[in-house]
Amino acid sequence: MATAVGGTPEQVTEGVTGFLTPPGDAEALAGRAASLLVDADVRQRFSAAAAADARARFDRDRMVDDYLGWYGTIVARWFE
């Protein structure tokens, strides 16, 4: 559960890996927190989905490939 500001919505998928609340809406944040306290099924579902999402998005091999591609782009610009 988090507020929908900055890059947070890129990390939390509403209703799938967590809840997003409007910035500055303490009542909404408290309500979402309370709902998680009483609903173990939702907590488990969010937990499993968030772990799977993190494994897929931040897999070591994928991250290494992404960084090597990025570094390759930077080095290629030196030779333009």
DSSP string, 29-53: HHHHHHHHHH-HHHHHHHHHHHHHH
Single-letter residue type at 9: P
CB 51 within 8 A of CB 58: no
Tell how strand 20-21 and strand 2-3 pair up: parallel
pLDDT digits (tens, 9 = 90+) for 8-36: 999 999 999 999 999 999 999 999 999 99
pLDDT at 58: 87
List domains and CATH numbers for the chain. Answer: 2-78 (3.40.50.2000)
CB 19 within 8 A of CB 3: no
pLDDT at 79: 87
pLDDT digits (tens, 9 = 90+) for 58-73: 899 999 999 999 999 9
- For residue 4, the 8-state DSSP code is S
